[in-house]
Structure 1
Amino acid sequence: MSDDSATPDRAGRRDALAEAAAELVLREGLGTMGLRGLARRVGTSDRMLIYYFGSKDALVTGVLARIGEKLSVLLQAYSAGPPVSPGAFLGQVLMLGRDPVVMPFMRVWTDVIARAAAGEAPYDMVAKKVVADWTAWIGTRLIPDPDRPCPPAALLSIVEGVTLLEMACPGSTTEAGPWLAEALLRADGRAG
C-alpha cells in the first residue's frame, strides 16, 4: 500500500487503511496498534494515519468498528434459525469461538474488554458498546422464559471468561466449555 496524500478520495483511503489495520489486528492482536509500527505495516506513515483518522483514539475506534462489521457478517449465519435455550446457546457459542475463522475476533474483543477493565482509553468507551451489542444479540438468540429468564450478560461472562483463560493458557478450556454447556443444558431441563 503506497502513501499518496493527494488522493481525492480521503474517505476511501481511510477505509483502505482501516481494513488493512483490521486484518493485521485480527492476525496479530491489539499490540500492533502502536502508531509507527502500524503505519509501517500498512504502508504509510504515522503522520498520515493521524491525517486520515484525526487522532490515535479515532484510529483505534475506526479499526475496531471495522472488525465489528466483519464479525457481524460472520454472525449473520448464526443469527438465523429459532431461538435456543441458554445451555444450547452456550454450547454453540463456545464451539463457534474455537472456529479458526471466529477465534481471532473473540481474542480481539476479549482484549478490548480487558483493556477497558484497566481503564485504558479508548477501549473503555468501545467496550461499553461491544458489551451492549453482544448482550442484545444474545438476547435475540434465547428462547424467552418469563419464569426463569437468563440474563444475556451471564452467558457473555462465561464466554469471555473461557476465551480469556484460553488466551492465557491455550488448551486449558478444552473440557471446560463442553462441561459448562452441559451443566446449563441440565439446568434448562430442570427449569421446564
Structure 2
Amino acid sequence: MRFDSVIEVLRVGFGRAGAVGTVPDVAGRGERERLLDLVTAHCLEHGVADLTLRRVAADVGTNNRMLLYYFTSKEGLIESALLHAVGRFPRVVGAIDLLHDRAAPLEERLARCWREISHPVNTPFMRLFFEVFGLAAHRPEPFRTYLDRAGHEWNARVEEVLVAEGLPRPDAALLGREIVALWRGLQFDLLSSGERDEIDRSHDRAATWISHRVRRAIGDRAGGGDGDAAAALRE
C-alpha cells in the first residue's frame, strides 16, 4: 500500500473492516499536529526499525530540522507517533469499556474485549506497538511516557472493573495485571503465528478459569474475609 493510500485509510476510517473512527480534518490545526498525522501514517506503513529522519521528512514533505523542532529526537518522534496512532483504532480504544457491562458474565465480557483488541483492523497498531516496545526495552529513557502508559494504563482500568465485581483492590490489581499480560502475550502469538481460531480458544479457556477464580474469591470473601479471597485467586 502506498503512503498516500495509508493517509486515505486513516482519514476515512476502515470501512468494511469495521472501524468507525476517522482522522480529524487537519485544516486549521497546528503544524505539529499536521506533521504528527503524516508521521503516524508513515510509521504504521513502514514500521520504525529502519526509520530515519531524512526518509520520514521526505515522505511527509518537510525537513529534518522541522521534525527535530517539533519532536526533539528520532525517539521522541517514534513515541509521539505510537501514542497518536492508538486514537486511529477505535476497537483498541473502546475495548476495555466492554468490561463494564455487568449484565453479561465476566468470561463473556473478557471474550468480547479480546475479540475487539485482536480484531484484524488493529493489526497495524499491534505491529507498531510491539516494534516500539522492542526499541524501548533496549533504551527505556527516550520512551518513558510510552512505557509508563503501556505498563500501567490498561492494568489500572481492568483493576477498576474487578473492584466493581467485588474483589479487594490489592487482589484486583494483581489479577488485572495478569489479564493484561494474557492479552499482550496472545497479541504477540497472533502476530507471529496468525493462528486466530486456536488463540481465541486459548483466550476463552483462560477467561473461563479467571472468571471462576473471581467468583470463588468473591464468595470466599463474603464467607471468610480478604485472606480467603486472595487464596482463591492463587488457585
Determine if the TM-score, normalized by the shorter chain, exceeds 0.5.
yes
- Please, which of 196, 200, 205 is the counterpart of residue 182 of structure 1? 205
Paired residue secondary structure (1:112): helix
Aligned to 2:225: none
Q: Given the superposition, is the C-alpha separation of residues 125 and 75 from structure 1 closer, same or farther in structure 2, using an over 3 Å criterion?
A: closer
Does 1:98 pair with 2:121? no
Asked if 1:44 is matched to 2:68, the reply is: no
Q: SS of the residue aligned with 2:119? A: coil
Q: Identify the structure with the greater helix proportion.
A: 2
Report whether the alignment pairs 1:155 with 2:179: yes
Percent identical: 23
Q: Secondary structure of the equivalent of 1:17?
A: helix
Match of 1:170 among 193, 198, 213: 193
- The answer for unaligned runs of 5 or more in structure 1 is 2-10
Q: TM-score if structure 1 supplies the norm length?
A: 0.74
Check the 8 A contact 2:154/2:180 in 1, yes or no: yes
Corresponding position of 1:109: 129
| Structure 1 runs (4+) greater than 3 angstroms displaced | 68-74, 83-90, 140-143, 147-150, 189-192
Task: Quote the offset at 1:154 in angstroms.
Answer: 0.7
Alpha carbons 1:82, 1:141 under 8 Å: kept: no
CA distance 1:48–1:165, change in 2 (3 Å):
same
Equivalence map 1:83-94=2 (5 Å): 83=102, 87-94=107-114
Question: What displacement does 1:18 show?
Answer: 0.6
> Within the alignment, does 1:82 sit opposite 2:101 as a pair?
yes
- Matched residue, 2:158: 138
- RMSD over aligned Cα atoms: 3.3
CA distance in 1 between counterparts of 2:175 and 2:157 reads 12
| Counterpart Cα distance in 1 of 2:197 and 2:47 | 22
In the TM superposition, what is the alpha-carbon distance from 1:58 to its structure 2 partner?
A: 2.8
Larger Rg: 2
Query: C-alpha offsets along residues 122-163 of structure 1, whole Å, 9 cap, x if unaligned?
Result: 235421222211212323444523276462111111111111
Q: Aligned residues, how many?
A: 184
Pick closer, same or farther for the CA change 1:51–1:124 going to 2, 3 Å. closer
